[in-house]
Structure 1
Amino acid sequence: MADAYPRPQLVRPNWTSLNGKWQFTFDNEQRYDLPMRPVQWTSEILVPFPPESQTSGIGDRGFHLACWYQREFDCMPGDDRVLLHFGAVDYKATVWVNGHRVAIHEGGHSPFSADITSALDPSGKQTVTVHAEDDPHDLAKPRGKQDWQLEAHSIWYPRTTGIWQTVWIERVPKTYIHKLQWTPHFEGFEIGCAVFVHGDPEDNLSVEVEIRHGDKVLAYDLYKVIGNEAHRKIGLSDPGIDDSRNELLWSPERPTLLDARITLRRDGQVLDEVTSYTAMRSVAISRDRFMLNGRPYHLRLVLDQGYWEDTLMTAPDDDALKRDVELAKEMGFNGVRKHQKIEDPRYLYWADKLGLMVWEEMPSAYRFTAKAITRMVHEWTEVIERDYSHPCIVVWVPFNESWGVPNLMSTQSHRNAVEALYHLTRTLDTTRPVIGNDGWEAAATDIIGIHDYDADPEKIKARYSDKTQELFDRRRPGGRILTLDGYPHRGQPIMLTEFGGIAFVKPQQNEGNTWGYSVANEQKQFATKYRKLLEVVNTTVMFSGFCYTQFTDTFQEANGLLYADRTPKFPIEQIHAATKSARYGFDGHPVPAEKDGDQAELAGNAE
């Protein structure tokens, strides 16, 4: 299968994937230091799969401080520029082309690029070398679910070292479109368009923007570039009539995307041209409800770790990313919470295209230091910049369960960190809600997220009856209070953002190597437990949404609705019905239930 274009919202035709076989070696003793001490290569690796994965050809999950990569590629110098892009390298990357250092980047989940034009060899034969430092014991860096013990334990999984997303080159003009940013303005039926230009200083630059819905042109205009940027609100013709208006709105039930073409000109001459897409949709909080396109919308999310058995955090291919989006929808969910992982942009593309909302969550560090917070701020800023324009992303989550800020109740600096990241996120993106710290001990936040793995549906029902003040005065699971002193509940939406975690394994599987928050011993029991739990959560008035744990089994965690190979643990139409609290008998025949989808109709997008 050919590599899919890795940056789906800024597309050019002239690009080349550098995925494939590279030379590789670990370097735990720091033996090599280009250009003084050349690297001795010991093996080959299949990029972009990390060396801990079986698919990479290495399959080594031991402790390694650093590793080296190298490959040759063909690229003739010309009158244009050549950019080298890395989707993600964990954790600190140094890159050389033909022995010339072209980039240093820190942050294991965010992309970086280098203009390698001046480093190209005139012969057209080029060599790229990458050094990746990734101390497996460093708990002060954002690492998400990557284990610091030799063997994966509890809720942590095998490490990911080095290159784990696509590497690619593209040719661009000397002056080119570097970045696009799309901002829907639902109230005025406008699309904000920001175009950022890099390259040689140029006068008389302009950008031409065309937005289409199918064959219909919605907007076509020309804007002057001032200071290497052009910012405009583009008014779309508001049909006025709800049915016609709703055809242009994005939602999980009707994921309408608007195609865009952006052309950079100088005195009318075309310098650069890219294609992109955007969408008209709004997400907001109104009192105790999450709002989509100005109407209350009930969130049905599933927690997704984003791992595969043989490839770890890297998807096997683009079809696997697409299939995960399809499976979430087939199980009745309208969104996912990507847990402790910044997912590949191709996943976000499929979520945009197929209609699946995404909560994006920053991978945690597990030690509170000034360096840890500095690293997190830097990387989170890059992540928001990368993913800002994706309509599927509806909530940002900087912290989870006080990880990295363990003393929120007693230490002001820990509180300051959560508040700072909350306000930084709201500053960088004014259009989406932010959960400062999901699970408990909330301070600055737009949504109160609660994590509660009680396996008894009746206890869940009783605990979250409509007695809000009593709820916030009591302590929750784990001995944690829901809101910190000085941050009373201000009427924000309350959501059960982790619950369930019911473990069920195949009969032939060794149950001693797996675990969950509760256990089902056979398929029918598992299906019944899930259905009863979801009935309670779906009908609890206090909740404006939920996130069930979890999407798939993930290594030792056997609490997925799907096995690790993505096959369902009971018929997927029954999972779908239970998720939405419709009813199916265990034989698969539907039992009449009340009409579902009223919230989708309110949002202007009936299923």
Structure 2
Amino acid sequence: MLLRALLLTALLTASSGLPAAEATADPWRPKPPPLTTPWTDEVGPDNALPEYPRPQLTRDRWLNLNGLWAYGGGSTPPEQTPEQILVPYPPESGLSGIQRHDDHMLYRRTFELPPDWAGERVLLHFGAVDQKAEVSVNGRPVAVHEGGYTAFSADITDALTPGGPQEIAVSVEDRNDANPYPLGKQRNEPGGILYTGASGIWQTVWLEPVPEEHIAKLDITPDLTGFDLVAHTSAPGDQPVEAVVSDRDGQEVARARGRAGEPLRLTVSDPHLWTPDDPYLYDIQVRLVDSGDVVGSYAGLRTVGLLHDEQGRPRLALNGRILFQHGPLDQGYWPDGIYTAPTDEALRSDLEVTKRLGFNMVRKHVKVEPARWYYWADRLGLLVWQDMPSLPIDLADPPGSNPPPSEEARANYRAELTAMIDQLRSVTSIVAWVPFNEGWGEFETREIADLTRRTDPTRLIDINSGVNCCYSLPDSGAGDIYDDHTYVGPGRPEVRDHRAVVDGEYGGLGLIEEGHLWPGEPGAYEMTDSREALTRRYREVSDELVRIIEANGLSAAIYTQTTDVENEVNGFLTYDRRILKPDVAAVRAANLAAIDAGTP
């Protein structure tokens, strides 16, 4: 693998993949991470996340810019790029070839446009860059973006030069918790439940050609009989647009024509609903009639809401029926890629394990994933509770002592919250938004709940997961869900108002697997000493969960957690994904029993 990487590095440099000034840089090689995963050795300059990155808005032609870029970093803005980095792995990761944090980063690379793109507009896309990015092409500024979790794009056509290589430069500042941006669990000084930061470019960078008038975004809202679809275009106007829905066999089941920017109603004949047990997805093709721009997409038919059970208790419902939602807390960290999964197979594998364990949902914890993660949740059949990444607070301070977020931090939070919801609004599997976690950076809870509802009125709101604990402000009663955190638990929240009650976090049973540990002192909420003991305790906690579901009308439960993360060893999987700790059959049986107990 290393020999192939070195040979490819020489080839890319010779073909202007890097600026000419960087042609003499040392050959790229990965740095050894503290732990490797089964996919670590599959990563190299020729296959750095080669998959199409945007499954709900696809075109046939595109150019992946992942791979080797020239890189410079330091505590002050660098002027030179003497190193090479493998994009899109963050500099802190071993896979990047850098394996250090820099407050300031400068990325540079060249590319050549395919000849058949002549005469078309060229869009440059970034899946995510953390935290502040300034992008130029051939020395001409084309984009500025703030916030580390949302995608952004630029039309770079007017910055391109006739013939020859084109150069992209990306200047980034990321000071982790020293900046007033949402950052989840990233920290400059990781430890315990806080982890290594992931700076700079950490999702796919790519180009695509489009007509001057083209589809920029699709908003797809499902119900039980069809879809409402809005096609947003590159320029204001009422261009005619046509949408077609096809089933899995390629048979057309709905067609509508209307105007861009206005809702199209696509009523599906003989609708096949999406559920975790049967994650049926329809293909959707949308065409901008005048320009001929055509994009592909997909979605599933489903609704989410609250219903009352026979005792009059509010419960979570899918497709008009009460369904108990049970899943793990999923942090989305990797020992070799930090925030970036080494491969698409790796990204999918955590969700496949979640399904094997009998769960029907997953809580994505204070992180936003690349679009392909949600694609796999849609295809595999997992309900998703999507957290908003938290603002930085000092968890070493006792509850009540943290100052409230600054006005700048609040503004950044609101902007990225609404951008996240807007970016993910068409994802079938997402059923709930979770703006705050345990009061970290919490402010103006009712206002944020109202903002979330205005931005997306179709999903449930869990305004503060863990409202009973930690740094949480007094319960405001906002949202649709009252969320209890109790370790080891499970918690016993009781219905108190219009909201469904859930255990948003419980469990945290740990097991140390020697040879599969991150450097540092391992920890868990309760440690066990063998896989048998871990399985036994999981069954005991699950048996208690079933009793609480039946007695209290609990609507959902989220177990900590999918994998070990750095020094936390309370995952089903070790951090390197090489060992699944408990007995799978026993855990699956317990999880299915809990779902059955809470589903009339």
Q: Which runs of 5+ in 1 are unaligned?
A: 33-38, 240-244, 406-413, 470-488, 583-595, 603-607
Q: Which residue does the alignment assign to 1:209?
A: 243
- Could you list the per-position Cα deviations for residues 1-24 of structure 1 after superposition, in whole angstroms to 9, with x for gaps in the alignment? 561111110000111110000000
Tell me the distance in 1 between the aligned counterparts of 2:181 and 2:598. 40
Match of residue 451 from structure 2: 424
> Residue in 2 aligned with 1:252?
276
Q: 1:149-228 counterparts in 2 under 5 A?
A: 149=189, 152-186=190-224, 189-199=225-235, 205-214=239-248, 215-225=250-260
Whole-Å Cα distance in 2 between the matches of residues 146 and 113 of structure 1?
A: 25
Superposition TM-score, scaled by structure 1 size: 0.83
Residue deviations 1:473-499 (CA, integer Å, cap 9, x gap)? xxxxxxxxxxxxxxxx31311111111
Q: 1:495 to 1:599 in 2, by over 3 A?
A: closer
2:524 aligned partner: 516
Post-superposition CA distance 1:504-541 (Å, at most 9, x none): 01145679710011110122111111111011113312
8 A contact 2:535–2:583 mirrored in 1: no
Q: Is the 8 A contact 1:89 1:164 kept in 2?
A: yes
Q: Distance in 2 between matches of 1:29 and 1:365?
A: 24
* CA deviation string 1:371-395 (max 9, x = no partner): 1110011111111111100110010
The aligned counterpart of 1:312 is 338
Match of 1:357 in 2: 383
Which aligned pairs between 1:105-504 and structure 2 lie closer than 5 A?
105-138=145-178, 140-149=180-189, 152-186=190-224, 189-199=225-235, 205-214=239-248, 215-225=250-260, 229-237=261-269, 239=270, 245=271, 248-266=272-290, 271-287=292-308, 288-367=314-393, 368-405=405-442, 414=443, 417-440=444-467, 441-443=474-476, 444-454=478-488, 460=490, 464=492, 468=494, 489-504=496-511
Residues in 2 aligned to 1:388 and 1:13: alpha-carbon distance in whole angstroms: 23
| Contact 1:183–1:193 under 8 Å retained in 2 | yes
Distance 2:68 2:82 in 1: 13
CA–CA distance in structure 1, aligned partners of residues 283 and 598 of structure 2:
27
Residues in 1 aligned to 2:515 and 2:167: alpha-carbon distance in whole angstroms:
49
Q: Name the CA distance, whole Å, in 2 between partners of 1:402 and 1:148.
A: 21
Aligned to 1:562: 573
2:590 corresponds to 1:578:
yes
- Is structure 2 residue 583 aligned with structure 1 residue 550? no
Structure 1 residue 135 displacement after superposition:
1.5
The one-letter code of the counterpart of 2:285 is: R
* 2:76 maps to amino acid: E
Alignment partners' CA distance in 1, 2:592 and 2:283: 32
Shift of 1:565: 2.2
Shift of 1:65: 1.8
Q: How far apart are 1:224 and its partner, in Å?
A: 3.2
- Point out where structure 2 has 5 or more consecutive residues left out of the alignment: 1-46, 309-313, 394-404, 468-473
Aligned pairs, number: 522
Alignment partners' CA distance in 1, 2:70 and 2:382: 38
Provide the residue aligned with 1:14 in structure 2.
61
- Aligned residue in 2 for 1:67: 105
1:321 alignment partner, SS class: helix
> TM-score, normalised to structure 2's length?
0.84
Q: Distance in 1 between matches of 2:324 and 2:83?
A: 51
Identity %: 38
Following the alignment from structure 1 to structure 2, what is the Cα–Cα distance between the partners of residues 48 and 104? Answer: 18
Q: How far, CA to CA, are the matches of 2:332 and 2:262 in structure 1?
A: 36
Deviation at 1:442, TM superposition (A): 3.1
Letter in 1 for 2:210: V
Contact preservation (8 Å) 2:488, 2:508: no
- Does structure 1 residue 98 correspond to structure 2 residue 105? no
Query: 1:175 aligns to what SS in structure 2?
Result: coil
Verify the 8 A CA contact 2:177 2:186 in the aligned structure 1.
Answer: no
The Cα shift of 1:570 comes to 2.4
Residue type of the partner of 1:6? P
| Secondary structure, counterpart of 2:565 in structure 1 | coil
Residue identity in the other structure for 1:19: N
Moved more, 45-54 or 560-569: 560-569
Partner secondary structure for residue 343 of structure 1 = coil
In structure 1, what is the Cα distance between the partners aligned to 2:211 and 2:278? 37
Paired AA for residue 569 in structure 1:
K
Q: What SS does the aligned partner of 1:271 have?
A: coil
Range 394-403 or range 437-446, more displaced: 437-446
Q: 1:273 to 1:598 in 2, by over 3 A?
A: farther
Deviating more after overlay: 135-144 vs 280-289: 135-144
Opposite residue 483 of structure 2, the aligned amino acid is G
Return the offset for 1:428: 1.1
The aligned amino acid for 2:384 is: V
Q: CA deviation at 1:277?
A: 0.6
Counterpart of 2:533 (choices 511, 525, 550) is 525
| Paired AA for residue 211 in structure 1 | V
Cα offset, 1:449, TM superposition: 0.7
Deviation sequence 1:543-578 (CA, Å, 0-9, x none): 111000000000000000111122300232222123
CA contact (8 A) 1:531 1:581 kept: no
CA–CA separation in structure 1 for the residues paired with 2:498 and 2:414:
28
The answer for the alignment partner of 2:4 in structure 1 is none
Aligned partner of 2:572: which letter?
Answer: L
Secondary structure of the residue aligned to 1:102 is strand
Q: Is the 8 A contact 1:300 1:333 kept in 2?
A: yes
Structure 2: how far apart are the matches of 1:125 and 1:19? 16
> Conserved in 2, the CA contact under 8 Å of 1:531 and 1:579?
no
Note if 1:86 corresponds to 2:129.
no
Structure-2 residue corresponding to 1:485: none
Distance 1:29 1:425 in 2: 37
Q: Aligned partners of 1:507 and 1:257: how far apart in 2?
A: 42
Runs of 4+ in structure 1 off by over 4 angstroms are 507-512, 596-600
**Aligned with 1:122: secondary structure?**
coil
2:170 match: secondary structure: strand
Q: Do the aligned partners of 2:223 and 2:303 also contact (CA within 8 Å) in 1?
A: yes
What is the identity, as a one-letter code, of the residue corresponding to 1:148? Answer: N
CA contact (8 A) 2:176 2:183 kept: no
